[in-house]
Structure 1
Amino acid sequence: MKIKNRVFKTMIIVFSALTLIGAAILIIVMNLNGTEEASGKRSIDEMRESSMLTEDITTDLINGDFVRIRFRIVTDSKRSLEELQKRDFQMQNILIKELAVMDLKSFQSGLGELEEQLKIKLNEVMSQGTVTDVYTVDKVLQ
């Protein structure tokens, strides 16, 4: 009887030690992998893999001037990118509507606001994932 108790206690101690070691390793691995995501920093390669470059969009502003503009839109995942690519017609529609109410002065000084507004409007139509950033990569004002 004493031998069985001793074996049983030894097994419990070994299993407890293995469980603690496993939990410690799991916590360490999760913290090492999660620090980049938690801080919101992604590598440039990850950003490029989950982003798309729009086609040139040419439209008029409210005062009759014409603008040709192009954006790089960054999503939070490849899955979100696939959805955004399917929604390209909605994205162009949103862009044209946003640009149509701008005049020359607001266009020249408000590109950051335009990018933010585009991000918000795109996230409203997205069902999976989100748009994290919008960058103006080319603009010509005529």
Structure 2
Amino acid sequence: MKSKNKLITIMLIILVCITLLGVVALLVITQLNKTDKNAEPTIDQIVESSIDIPEITTNLSGNKFIRISLKVQTDSVKAAEELTKRDFQIKNIIITELSEMSPQDLEGKQGKLTFEATLKTKINELMDIGEVQQVYITSYIIQ
């Protein structure tokens, strides 16, 4: 009887150890495979997932003209490919938005940030794959 209880105790200890090893292994594997969603992308990843909008010349409301170039950063290469295909739609959004703006609307840091945020929102409405992370003004002249 004594050896039977000893055998059951040893089997239970072995079973508990195997279970603990399995749980630890599972936690280690999930931690190693987990990608950090909050990690900032590298500059190479940003460039790879961005597209350039070549210089557009259009009129603002009133008598002034604007020449503007942009870079649109997306969250993935696939999203950047989609934006490349939608370049005519993006240019239309830019021209339409600018035609409603006066030079004063684009003055200062806040005016430019507002314009970039508006473009980001409007372009994201078009997107099927991914989303726009940031719109950058790369050149800008009002005449």
Q: Which residue of 1 aligns with 2:74?
A: 75
Cα root mean square deviation, aligned: 2.4
Q: Which residue of 2 aligns with 1:22?
A: 25
Deviation per CA, 1:14-43: give whole Å up to 9, x if none: 541331221221243256x31xx22x6222
Aligned amino acid, residue 46 of structure 2? M
User: Using the alignment, how far apart are the partners of 1:49 and 1:85 within structure 2?
Assistant: 12
Q: Which residue of 1 aligns with 2:136?
A: 135
User: Using the alignment, how far apart are the partners of 2:21 and 2:84 within structure 1?
Assistant: 47
Structure 2 counterpart SS, 1:57: strand
Structure of larger gyration radius: 2
Structure 2 counterpart SS, 1:56: strand
Shift of 1:46: 1.4
Shift of 1:5: 6.5
Deviation per CA, 1:83-105: give whole Å up to 9, x if none: 11111000000000000011111
User: Using the alignment, how far apart are the partners of 2:22 and 2:16 within structure 1?
Assistant: 10
Give unmatched runs, 5+ long, in structure 1. none
Q: Percent of aligned pairs with the same residue?
A: 32
Shift of 1:11: 6.5
Shift of 1:76: 0.6
Superposition TM-score, scaled by structure 1 size: 0.83
Give unmatched runs, 5+ long, in structure 2. none
Deviation per CA, 1:63-85: give whole Å up to 9, x if none: 12111101110001111111111
Superposition TM-score, scaled by structure 2 size: 0.83
